Amino acid sequence: MSEPKTADRGVMLITGGSRGIGAATSRLAAQRGWTVAMLFRDREDDAKRLVAEIEAAGGRALAIRADIADESAIVRAFEQADALGRLTALVNNAGISGGVSRVEAIDAARLDEVLAINVRAPFLCAREAIRRMSTRHGGQGGAIVNVGSGASQLGSAGVWVHYAATKGAIDTMTIGLAKEVAGEGIRVNTVRPGIIDTEIHAARPPGQLEQMAKTVPMGRIGTADEIARSIVWLADGRESSYVTAALLDARGGF
């Protein structure tokens, strides 16, 4: 049973918004009254299907192709989203693992790619959002929600320390940026998922995900919809109005 749609909430821009956690967030945000601008890089058919699904349910959505490793593509994407209305929320969701690798086997090219998508892009997207939302720049406030990872606390030894390190950077960014713009009407928070049933785990060795699931105190891996509910709650200024600089763990106690 879908939730009732509320009044217009403005525009929520979601990077990596057409699949996994991003797609679940796009659906829920549209149900809650946001116009969704979902950024995607590949698999245009998936993005178009999701837009059609949202519109069929009475929501508004626009799929925007953008390689967020490219600063100019980020700027263009935000400009396209401007046509939809006032930006009130940014969800920095897009991320890549860089594949399974011990540190001694990683090369500079792969490390640069992971840093570009997982660290540099969220900073640049936050910059564009602040320029639109900050009262210092004539805006009316808003929220930035970063999608981090429990890996920032666990380190992911033997799997992807490189990925975990980028998520540690997002934790630090969240705390510092939240304090920087708290007086300008912008709240900044991070959701740190644990083991979630999404494609990012496809690169893990066979059987490893199942073994990891057994170590979760709640006894199971999480779903994209569960993480989406945490993201949308943090984005909603009515529900989480006094929450900023928070690192919200959503990992079943893991």
DSSP per-residue letters across 9-65: --EEEEETTTSHHHHHHHHHHHHTTPEEEEEESS-HHHHHHHHHHHHHTT-EEEEEE
Indicate the residue type of 223: T
Answer whether 43's CB lies under 8 Å from 18's CB. Answer: yes
Say whether 242 is catalytic: no
* Kind plus residue range of the DSSP H or E element containing 122: helix 121-133
The rounded distance, in Å, linking the Cα atoms of 90 and 95 is 15
Positive or negative, the Cα torsion across 252, 227, 74, 12? negative
Please list the residues that pair with 13 across neighbouring strands: 37, 90
Which tokens belong to 47?
């993005």
In 134-236, which residue ranges form alpha helices assigned H by DSSP? 151-154, 161-181, 208-213, 224-235
Indicate the residue type of 30: A
Q: Which of 163, 186, 196, 234 is catalytic?
A: 163
Residue with tokens 């006032």: 86
Residue closest to 36 by CA, chosen among 79, 91, 74:
91
Catalytic residue IDs: 163
